[in-house]
């Protein structure tokens, strides 16, 4: 079983434990705050940053305690983040929907629910908890699933970040006509990182699509490399949650300091 398969198995188990009746979830969805689109910022001429609330990872273990995710999100926003990414997967990343709730209430910029979306229920759940954007990992989904979940995301008013790691996954992603594609330099099946994925895949993404470089970004030189490859945005978690000052770290990555 690959790392990705193991994570998804845990996600499915946790989902069954917290699942509520669909009628009750739809009632919650009716009370959700309006969706805030992230697309204009991710397509701006200046590279933008998706700053992540991330306590742990399968490859690194514990990263940061983060007792106040709302406060950290507010600091990210003040420092110039365009989107806040919130890990909601519990077993490997230490996240929760409670984190999503608290962050959504604390910032005025779009919030991404970062999880392994493998059930339609999770999309209604994400919107009910205020998510503006969801992650669709091509490696975790069949083509019909990818298309169906993308259409459902749009029906619920949210944006979708379509994540790829290989040429084949990029081809599959382009078939659904996405607006945002993320190139993850981490192979989710082995957890190895190779930032050459940026140079191999980002230039193949058509202009007009927001192009997000994910994983392996910890210093200004990494951002410059991603931008030279054609990235319009970066997604950064570990380097920010481990920094003594996340706001300084953001400004350094964006070349403002």
Catalytic residue, candidates 77, 89, 214, 238: 214
Q: Which two tokens stand for residue 247?
A: 């706001």
CB of 36 within 8 A of CB of 127?
no
DSSP, collapsed to helix, strand or coil, labels residue 190 as: coil
Residue 221 annotated in active site: no
Catalytic residue, candidates 54, 77, 85, 106: 54
225 vs 248: CA distance, rounded Å: 20
Catalytic residue, candidates 114, 125, 169, 185: 114
Q: Which residue has the tokens 């188990």?
A: 13
Catalytic residue, candidates 163, 185, 187, 238: 163
List, in sequence order, the alpha helices (H) in 20-176: 22-30, 39-42, 69-79, 97-106, 120-128, 143-155, 167-174
Catalytic residue, candidates 85, 96, 185, 215: 215
Residue 215 annotated in active site: yes
Catalytic residue, candidates 51, 52, 57, 85: 52
Residue 189 annotated in active site: no
Nearest of 43, 58, 7, 27 to residue 186 by alpha carbon: 58
Residue 125 annotated in active site: no
Nearest of 218, 181, 183, 201 to residue 60 by alpha carbon: 218
Residue 251 annotated in active site: no
Catalytic residue, candidates 51, 57, 184, 187: 184
Residue 204 annotated in active site: no
Residue 77 annotated in active site: no
Q: Which active-site residues does the annotation give?
A: 52, 54, 114, 163, 184, 214-215
């Amino acid at each position: 079983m690959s790392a990705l398969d193991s994570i998804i198995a845990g996600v499915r188990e946790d989902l069954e434990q917290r699942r509520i009746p669909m009628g009750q979830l739809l009632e919650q969805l009716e009370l959700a705050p309006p969706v805030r689109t992230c697309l204009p910022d991710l397509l701006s001429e200046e590279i933008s940053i998706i700053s992540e609330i991330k306590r742990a990872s399968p490859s690194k273990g514990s990263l940061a305690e983060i007792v106040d995710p709302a406060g950290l999100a507010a600091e990210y926003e003040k420092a110039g983040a365009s989107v806040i990414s919130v890990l909601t997967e519990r077993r490997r990343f230490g996240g929760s929907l409670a984190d999503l709730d608290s962050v959504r209430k604390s910032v005025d910029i779009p919030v991404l629910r970062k999880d392994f979306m493998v059930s339609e229920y999770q999309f209604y759940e994400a919107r009910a908890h205020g998510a503006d954007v969801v992650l669709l990992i091509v490696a975790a989904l069949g083509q019909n699933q990818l298309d169906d979940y993308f259409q459902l995301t749009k029906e619920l008013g949210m944006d979708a970040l379509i994540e790829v790691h290989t040429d084949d996954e990029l081809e599959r992603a382009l078939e659904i006509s996405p607006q945002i594609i993320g190139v993850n330099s981490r192979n989710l099946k082995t957890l190895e990182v190779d930032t050459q994925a940026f140079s191999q895949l980002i230039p193949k993404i058509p202009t007009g699509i927001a192009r997000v470089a994910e994983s392996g970004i910890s210093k200004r030189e990494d951002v410059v490399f991603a931008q030279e490859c054609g990235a319009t945005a970066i997604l950064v978690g570990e380097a920010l949650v481990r920094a003594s000052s996340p706001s300084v770290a953001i400004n350094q990555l964006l070349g403002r300091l």
